[in-house]
Amino acid sequence: MTTTIEHKSYARVGLLGNPSDVYYGRTISFSLANFWAIVRLEPSDDLIIQPHHFHDLVRFKSISQLVNRLESEGYYGGVRLLMAICKVFQKYCNENNIELKSGNFTLHYDTNIPRQTGLSGSSAIVSAALNCLLDFYNVRHLIKVEVRPNLILSAEKELGIVAGLQDRVAQVYGGLVYMVHSNVRKRWLDGEEFIISSMKEVANLALEGRSALLEENYTKFAELINRNFDLRRLMFGDDALGSMNIDMVTVARKVGAASKFTGSGGAVVVYCPEGPSQVKLLEDACKEAGFIIQPVEVVSSFLNDVDLKTLSST
């Protein structure tokens, strides 16, 4: 086999219900076409995980540059993510009697997903790599679509990344996805009643949001987005959310738009139910406040015919 395999996985925006995906809840999310990760697989004599020239930087002009880099970017690049999904993939195939052909490959990756913005940059790299492995070993038809988000999550858990399934489901299926999450984390059950009841309400926002979208009740949908952020703020507090994150939401609300975190903070998603005139007000307000606006481009579902055949009929 000499063919190069390449897959792209997109950033994810949590539209409603997060962070209840970590706490036994419901969410609505969509894949964001503006930002993505690409993984390329090329057959090779040895199995090679190729470091990225920027994200996996190991050469510096001075110790000061090294320290500055670590303070701004952290210790983490994409190599560890590629290694983790290779391990999880091989283990799953062994446990499920899926025979893998012989042969090696080299994995390369690139990404333009901004770091620390809650747009699921890490899971996008893992998702794209998993798709490459499925095609290289020709086992796409043997590993169901429903299984793949858990494989991606398992790879991240290998690295100590705490997360829910929201990101991985959106990145596997594409498009706008409503999902109900299994009980993957029960620590919250030991908390006070306010936290428990509030998280249940956050989860129910996604259920209500799904109905609002189907009924084309966009005013109601905007109210739910704002309520999602308000509940998160009550539960976690302003110190945990951060002043800049709160300021971004506040600027959007001043022009009558709805806003909430895309994920865990660093960026927000804004919904303007009144249309272009409200968008113009938002652009002016953000410019004055020093914030950058990126118009949302939603990715449609990218499951192919082989993927669709693996879906459960229920």
In tens, the pLDDT along 265-277 reads 789 999 999 999 9
Q: What's residue 141's pLDDT? A: 95
Residues 143 and 217 in one domain: no
Catalytic residue among 167, 190, 239, 307: 167
Indicate if 305 belongs to the active site: no
Helices 79-95, 148-158: inter-axial angle, 10-degree rounding: 130
Q: Which tens digit of pLDDT belongs to each residue from 101-153?
A: 999 999 999 999 988 787 888 899 999 999 999 999 999 999 999 899 999 99
Amino acid letter for position 307: D
Assigned domain for 310 exists: no
Query: Going by C-beta distance under 8 Å and a sequence separation of 6 or more, which residues neighbour residue 242?
Result: 265
Q: Which tens digit of pLDDT belongs to each residue from 185-241?
A: 444 455 556 667 777 888 899 999 999 999 999 999 999 999 999 998 988 888 888
Assigned domain for 82 exists: yes
Assigned domain for 299 exists: no
Residues 158 and 255 in one domain: no
Domain of 273? 191-289
Mean pLDDT, residues 158-166:
75
**Percent of the chain, pLDDT > 90?**
56
Q: What's residue 192's pLDDT? A: 56
Rounded to two decimals, the pTM is: 0.78
Assigned domain for 34 exists: yes
Residues 31 and 169 in one domain: yes
pLDDT band at 19 (very low <50, low <70, confident <90, very high): confident
**Across 74-78, 131-135, 170-174, least confident range:** 74-78
Residues 52 and 162 in one domain: yes
> Cβ(81)–Cβ(108) under 8 Å?
no
Residues 39 and 145 in one domain: yes
Q: What's residue 170's pLDDT? A: 82
Place of tokens 């009841």: 197
